[in-house]
Amino acid sequence: MARAELFVALLCLCLAGLATGAAGTRKMVGVYELRRGDFSVKITNLGARVMSVVLPDSKGNLADVVLGKDTIAEYVNDTLYFGPVTGRVAQRVSRGRFVLDGKVYHLYKNDGMNTIHGGGRGFSKSIWTVKEYVGSGDSPYITLYYHSFDGEQGFPGAVDAYVTYQLSSPYTLGVHMNATALDTATPVSFLLHSYWNLGGHGSGDVLGHTLQLFASRHTVLDDELLPSSGRVEPVAGTPLDFRTPTAIGARIHKVKVMGGRVVGYDANYIIDGEGMRPVAIARDGASGRKLELWANQPTMQLYTGNFLEHVAGKDGKVYNQYGGFCLETMGYVDAVNHPEFPSQTLRPGQVYRHDMVFKFSF
């Protein structure tokens, strides 16, 4: 708790700094809007987080299609990861432990016996520095920077990370992340944990959205959502098969049993092909909104908000189970403990690059 309290105190200090306009405070927390016509996105540097994405529907009605909180203060205790970039290693690391170059590293465990999303105070809980910000015009963008120190949450060596959010063509949000290891080799894999609901956040569940995934294989995950067997299997013939557009809810009740309980999708897909390529298309029939995701990462975790339960969201809305879905492009889950998966080791001199493009239409 001491850690959390210190962080809240620090955040309040920063907010106070912002309120009084104190010069020289390097890490103030703020909300930054990017706007291009009637398409607008709000970002905060607390966790390099997407707070809102507003766009019209086929009748011209605007809605905010990501789940989240109204104020930065409410994100401080967020354990559901509403919209942040997570790292240094996203998703789960088995037993919070790995070996790199013959050395054993122990991470902070924040998911039972395992580590999730970089540990207790990973990138998503950290205050990033705003490097550049252009809020309007043809190509509004914001670039955020975070220096992850040697030993942070147990990871080896220091890392410099950048995330740029940019509105380039109409109704298109680009997300460009990069990282370099400054002195020591370290695993690196980030993801963006936005919950989408194309009908508008708080408009109910997403079970009626249709989803298409350009993925014919998935990583077999165990009851702890770890790829303990290291097996990669075809999705064909399973409820995970979204190769043709299918309602999210069509087979969700057959999908996963954790301790005898049906939960929902929390599956890791191997995206077909390589490089920048189509990953997913989601469509909401009622509003006519469509989202197309392209990315350059090997896998994507599909999460259907299985554990949302009476969560207070923006505008007085309440989020419940399946109230949003996450399309988390990333490296292989727990690659640090699976030599059979592509390596996530970033060595000094190398550059990690993660690009995503969300193209909306209606």
Find tokens 């509105």 and name the residue. 167
Residue 286, SS3 per DSSP: coil
Token output for 163: 């995330």
Catalytic residue among 209, 328, 338, 354: 328
C-alpha to C-alpha distances, 286 to 39, 47, 157, nearest whole angstrom: 19, 32, 49
- Of 28, 29, 51, 76, the residue at the interface with ligand NAG (CB under 6 A) is 76
- Of 77, 139, 320, 350, the residue at the interface with ligand NAG (CB under 6 A) is 77
How many residues make contact with ligand NAG (CB under 6 A)? 11
CB under 6 A: which stretch of 41-49, 70-78, 266-274, 291-299 binds ligand NAG?
Answer: 70-78
Token output for 325: 């879905």
Torsion of CA 45, 49, 50, 52, to 10 degrees: -70
Footprint (CB under 6 A) of ligand NAG, residues 130-149: 143
* Angle in degrees, CA 278, 284, 287, rounded to 5: 130
- Among candidate residues 130, 117, 102, 80, the one with its CA nearest the CA of residue 324: 80
As a 3-state breakdown, the chain gives helix, strand, coil percent values, each rounded to 5, of: 10, 40, 50
Residue 73 in contact with ligand NAG, rule: CB under 6 A: yes
Annotate each residue in 3-42 with x if it binds ligand NAG (CB under 6 A) or - if it does not, as one string: -x---x----------------------------------
- Of 15, 80, 162, 185, the residue at the interface with ligand NAG (CB under 6 A) is 162
Cα maximum dimension of the chain: 60
Minimal distance, residue 141 CB to ligand NAG, in Å: 9
Token output for 202: 């708080």
Catalytic residue among 193, 209, 338, 354: 193
Residue 164 in contact with ligand NAG, rule: CB under 6 A: yes
328 catalytic? Reply is yes
CB closer to ligand NAG, 146 vs 303 = 146
Residue 296 in contact with ligand NAG, rule: CB under 6 A: no
Residues, the chain: 362
Minimal distance, residue 153 CB to ligand NAG, in Å: 20
Positions marked catalytic: 193, 328
The residues of the shown chain that bind ligand NAG, judged by CB under 6 A, are 4, 8, 73, 76-77, 143, 162, 164, 178, 180, 351
